[in-house]
Amino acid sequence: MSGRNRPDPSFWRGKQVLLTGHTGFKGAWLAIWLHRLGARVTGIGLEPATQPSLFSLAQVAQLCSSQICDIRDPSALAARVRPAEPQIVLHLAAQPLVREGYARPVDTFATNVMGTAHLLEALRGMSGVRVALVITTDKVYRNLEQPYPYREDDALGGHDPYSASKAACEIVTASYRDAFLRAQGVTVATARAGNVIGGGDWSADRLLPDAVKAWASGTPLQIRRPDAIRPWQHVLEPLAGYLALAERAWSDPGVCGGWNFGPLTHEAATVKTVVELARGEWPGAQVHYGDGSEGPHEAGWLALEIAKARSALGFRPRWSLAEGVRRTMAWYLQQRDGAAARALCEAEIAAWEEAE
C-alpha cells in the first residue's frame, strides 16, 4: 500500500487482473477501483442478478474485458481464464445470500465450492499467475454464539448452506494451494469480510437495500431480527483490504492463508442500530421491528478480529459505522435524483483515499 494505507497506483498500473463476480455489487465497485488504479481487468461473471444493478448503471463493462460465464461450467470458465493471462486473480463470484442458500442449497454448494475448484483448476499450469485471492465471508467460522470476535485460526463450520459452502471453499482453496499452486509460484490467500454496505446494492434480503426499496415506495421496512449483531462496514473498507493483501502477496509468499477484514470490534452493531442510523438519513422512513422468531436460523452474534491485518498489512478502517451508513443513504438518494452511478462511486473512492 502507498502512503496513508491507500492502494498503490504504481503497483496496479498495467497489471493483468482477473476479477470474477464483476457483475455483482462488490465486484462492480472493485472493477471501478481497479480501473481507476490503472489495472487491465478481465471480468468473469453471470448477468447481473438484480434490476437495477450497479454493473449496468455504472457501465462497468466499459472499464474491463467483460465475459459472461457461469463458473459452474469448468470448460467454459477455463476457456475465458487462460486467454486473459492474469497475473493477479481476485475471486469474488459466488452465491452470496444466506436465505438464498436455504432456498437453493445444491446450487449454492455448486457455485461456491465447485465453482472455486474450477477456477483454481484453470490456474494450474499458468506460468504468469503470481497471486490468487479467494473472497469468502465472516460466516466461515463455526459460530458458537459467544461474544468474542473470531480469529483466523478459529474452527471453520457452517449451520446454513451458504456458510457451510464458504467454509468448504476455504478448505478447497487451501488444498489447491498446498497440492498445486504453491509449487507453481502462486501465493494463495483467502479474505473473510463482514457485512458490507454501500450505494448500488439491490440484492434481496440485505438490510439497507431492503430499506431503500421500502422507503422509496413509501412503505415501512420490516425487520425480522433487530437484535442480531454483525460487523458492518462500508464496501470500500474490505475492498481496500483485498487490494492491500494482493499487493503484499505479490512479493511475500508468507501471507498465504486466511485474513479477516472488518470494522474495529467495538463497531460491531445490531441490525436496529444500523436501521435507526439509516432512517435518520431518509425523510419519512418508517420501520416495523419483529421479535426475532421469523425465518430460518441465522447467527445472532458475529464479529471479526482484524489484528492480523492491522499489524501485518497496515489495514485500518477509515469510516465509522455512522459515516458508512450516511454515505450509503446519500448515494441512493443522489442516484434516485439523477446523479450518475459511476460518478458517485468514483467520488466515494476519492473521498475514501483522502480520508485520514
Residue 52: asked if its preceding bond is cis (omega within 30°), the reply is yes
134: nearest Cα among 48, 303, 18, 16? 18
- pLDDT of residue 3 exceeding 50: no
Contacting residues for 269 by C-beta, under 8 A, at least 6 apart: 229, 230, 232, 321
Q: What is the pLDDT of residue 144?
A: 87
Q: Given pLDDT bands bounded at 50, 70 and 90, which one contains residue 4?
A: low
Cα dihedral value 112, 117, 118, 121, nearest 10:
160
- Domain assignment present for residue 9? The answer is no
- pLDDT of residue 347 exceeding 90: yes
Per residue in 71-80, pLDDT (tens digit) is 999 999 999 9
Q: Given pLDDT bands bounded at 50, 70 and 90, which one contains residue 299?
A: low
Q: What is the CATH number of the domain that holds 290?
A: 3.40.50.720
Q: Mean pLDDT throughout 223-240?
A: 94
Q: How much is the pTM?
A: 0.96
Distance, CA of 114 to CA of 316 (rounded, Å) = 33
Q: Mean pLDDT throughout 33-45?
A: 98
Q: Are 14 and 39 in contact (CB under 8 A)?
A: yes
HSE of 154, CA atoms in CB hemisphere, 13 A: 22
How far is residue 235 CA from its own chain's centroid? 7
Per residue in 125-168, pLDDT (tens digit) is 999 999 999 999 999 999 888 778 999 999 999 999 999 999 99
Three-class DSSP labels, 284-345: CCCEEECCCCCCCCCCCECCECCHHHHHHHCCCCCCCHHHHHHHHHHHHHHHHCCCCHHHHH
* Residue 59, domain extent: 14-354
- pLDDT of residue 300 exceeding 80: no
- Domain assignment present for residue 87? The answer is yes
Place of cell 492480523: 308
Per residue in 104-124, pLDDT (tens digit) is 999 999 999 999 999 999 999
Show the cell assigned to 142.
Answer: 463455526
Say how many domains are in the chain: 1
Distance, CA of 65 to CA of 83 (rounded, Å) = 11
Distance, CA of 303 to CA of 215 (rounded, Å) = 28
- Domain assignment present for residue 25? The answer is yes
DSSP string, 24-62: SHHHHHHHHHHHHHT-EEEEEEPSPSSSS-HHHHTTGGG
For 10, other C-beta atoms within 10 Å of its C-beta total 9
- Domain assignment present for residue 287? The answer is yes
Q: What is the pLDDT of residue 298?
A: 67
Q: Are 200 and 331 in contact (CB under 8 A)?
A: yes
Interaxial angle between packed helices 341-354 and 321-336, expressed in degrees from 0 to 180 and rounded to the nearest 10: 160
- Domain assignment present for residue 103? The answer is yes
Q: What kind and span of H or E run contains 250?
A: helix 236-251
Q: What is the pLDDT of residue 201?
A: 98
- Domain assignment present for residue 66? The answer is yes
Q: Given pLDDT bands bounded at 50, 70 and 90, which one contains residue 42?
A: very high
Q: Are 253 and 188 in contact (CB under 8 A)?
A: no
- Domain assignment present for residue 8? The answer is no
Q: What is the pLDDT of residue 294?
A: 65
**What rounded mean pLDDT belongs to the chain?**
95
Q: Mean pLDDT throughout 326-333?
A: 98
- Domain assignment present for residue 4? The answer is no
- pLDDT of residue 61 exceeding 70: yes
Distance, CA of 148 to CA of 354 (rounded, Å) = 32
